[in-house]
Amino acid sequence: MRVIAGLYRRRVLESLPGEQTRPMLDRMRETLFNILQLEIEGAIFADLYAGTGAVGIEALSRGAKQAIFVEANSKALKVIERNLETLGAKAGARVMLGAAAEKVSLIDADIWFVGPPYDAHKEYEKTLAALGEKGAKLVIVQHRKTYDPPELPGVLESYRKVKMGSNALTFYRPPATAEDTEPQA
């Protein structure tokens, strides 16, 4: 696994052996950051269920001001810390051990990436509910193509879905208000 583009381009990242984490495929990560290219510069990026940290590290590499990594597995957290140390990226990072849904209230971020284990449907629900309560402005959820993450009417609504192989990314934002949709003079 490697960083796709930016400051740390082509640098190799350490992975956690076994199947405790599910790293995002390079092609999907590239697609995600191509979509976010106008929003990532100077943003605070939260990588929930961070695994190896590849998504948050890609955000830092492409100009995010800070990446916040939340991971419940202490072994995976150590891999994230080693990857950040190897890249010299610790200054722009914050690493948190614990359940993602419980950490949301402690984080202020511009962009939230949610990538729990695919079969952990309750994690999707709890984390999206917490992000809705938080008032998140942009949330991206990685999931199985055959799974539809929950809609949270009035809080967050999906506005885009990108499918790639057996995976998908669903993008959420707060519902548009009349002010958002009126033409500006």
SS3 42: coil
Nearest Cα to Cα of residue 52 among 67, 38, 30, 32: 67
State residue 19's pLDDT score. Answer: 55
Map out the domains of the chain with their CATH numbers. 26-176 (3.40.50.150)
Residue 79 has φ and ψ, to the nearest 5°, of -65, -45
Residues of the chain with pLDDT under 50: 178, 181-183, 185
How confident is the model over 17-38, as pLDDT tens digits?
Answer: 755 556 677 788 899 999 999 9
State residue 20's pLDDT score. Answer: 53
Backbone torsion region of residue 168, taken as left when φ is above 0, otherwise alpha when ψ lies between -120 and 50, otherwise beta: beta
Residue 169 has φ and ψ, to the nearest 5°, of -120, 130
Report yes or no: 76 and 84 within 8 Å, Cβ to Cβ.
no
State residue 16's pLDDT score. Answer: 77
State residue 57's pLDDT score. Answer: 94
Q: 124: Cβ–Cβ under 8 A, 6 or more apart, which residues? A: 114, 116, 141, 143, 149, 150
State residue 181's pLDDT score. Answer: 46
State residue 144's pLDDT score. Answer: 92
